[in-house]
Amino acid sequence: MSETTEKKKVILSAIQPSGTITLGNYLGALRNWVKLQDEYNCIFAVADLHAITVRQEPKTFRQNILNAYALLLACGIDTDKSPVFIQSHVPTHAELAWILNCYTQFGELSRMTQFKDKSQKHSDNVNAGLFTYPVLMAADILLYQADMVPVGADQKQHLEIARKIAERFNGIYGTTFKIPEPYIAKVGARVMSLQDPTKKMSKSDENVNSWVAVLDKPDVIMKKFKRAVTDSEAVVRVGEGKDGINNLIGIMSAVTGKTAEEIETEFEGKGYGDFKTAVGEAVIETVKPIQNRFNDLLNNKDYLVEKYRSGAEFALKISSRTLDKAMKKIGFIAR
Ligand code: TRP
């Protein structure tokens, strides 16, 4: 077998079309996905079905889905290497999710920390979709016989339940689904809030100065970095109790490729003001080409449509094989 035809492992991941991709999402996840494309068979999706567990305004939702799709490509996902599709365009996801619901226990889902958090946050709309959300995610993963799923800490429990559901199903019917492993990035930047650097950067943070979006305008990015919380030592070095500076050094290192030591040396004798400006500039340089490409893509709607259609076509073909196999095992009559 030549190297190119050798079976590469399958990696699957998805993002929700939430309207904002933060610098944390980019440096911690998306940027790594781009690097995985050569080594693995990657499949990426915009998880729009997951997004309606909270109420969406139709016009905004539609735009957010397209934006998320375009942003994946703008960040460097290459559809020639990795199919990218929109979850709702591929009906097998909802179908397998229903089936897997019947192999998932109420008790298991009740113990999901994200469900508990979200039902507290949206106590006026604790819908069944919010509850079975992890089952839909399991379907996303299992349909493609994914070997690995790159997951952040917040999604780890969801991957665990996907594994459990797959094992249970395989236990009853014989091997049907590949049991997915978490993919832990070798180098993944953990970007913290600019306002409370003990917390992870999150777009759901009420304080908009705590996060930077990949699509934020340069002056907004600069303003947010200038306001970043630091400490009173006024020395640019990594240290205990210097969460703010540690975070800024981490971001600087992630966007420039320089080590923390190199950054410390570079900013020896300089104040935090200079350093914050430099980090802001470096981040702006990093996101500028992404923003340009994003704008080009949105101005070329036909191209996007062509891409998401062919992505869905491919996804349907692959996922149907798994769905058919599972349905046959259960005893459904072939369509
Ligand atoms: N639940 C994930 C999130 O909110 C998104 C997601 C949906 C996903 N389906 C997936 C991630 C499958 C990995 C694999 O971030």
Of 164, 203, 223, 258, which is the active-site residue? 203
Q: CA angle, 198 as apex, 194 and 199 as ends, to 5°?
A: 75
Summarize pLDDT for 243-275 with one digit per residue, the tens: 999 999 999 999 999 999 999 999 999 999 999
Is residue 277 pLDDT above 50, yes or no? Answer: yes
Among candidate residues 286, 182, 202, the one with its CA nearest the CA of residue 24 = 202
Is the minimum distance from the CB of 148 to ligand 1 under 6 angstroms?
no
118 carries an active-site annotation: yes
pLDDT class of 4 with cuts at 50, 70, 90: low
121 carries an active-site annotation: no
Summarize pLDDT for 60-71 with one digit per residue, the tens: 999 999 999 999
**Mutual angle of helices 243-256 and 272-298, in 10-degree steps:** 50
Give one DSSP letter per residue of 127-177, joined into a string.
Answer: -HHHHHHHHHHHHHHHTTT-SEEE--GGGHHHHHHHHHHHHHHHHHHSS-S
Is residue 189 pLDDT above 80, yes or no? Answer: no
200 carries an active-site annotation: yes
CATH of domain 10-188+301-330: 3.40.50.620
Is the minimum distance from the CB of 118 to ligand 1 under 6 angstroms?
no
- Domain-wise residue ranges, the chain: 10-188+301-330, 208-294
Question: For residue 187, what pLDDT is reported?
Answer: 63
Q: Which CATH superfamily is domain 208-294 in?
A: Tyrosyl-Transfer RNA Synthetase (1.10.240.10)
Structure tokens, 99:
């089936």
Percent residues over pLDDT 90 in the chain: 91
Is the minimum distance from the CB of 14 to ligand 1 under 6 angstroms?
yes
Which residues, including other chains, have CB under 8 Å from residue 145's CB and lie 6 or more apart? 10, 177, 178, 322
Structure tokens, 184:
């832990």
Among candidate residues 45, 56, 51, the one with its CA nearest the CA of residue 87 = 45
Q: What is the pTM of this model?
A: 0.94
Ligand 1 atom with minimal separation from the 152 CA: 15
Question: For residue 2, what pLDDT is reported?
Answer: 45
Report which protein residue has its CA nearest ligand 1's atom 9.
Answer: 137
> Given ligand 1 and candidates 16, 21, 145, which is best to mutate, with the most ligand atoms within 8 Å of its CB?
16
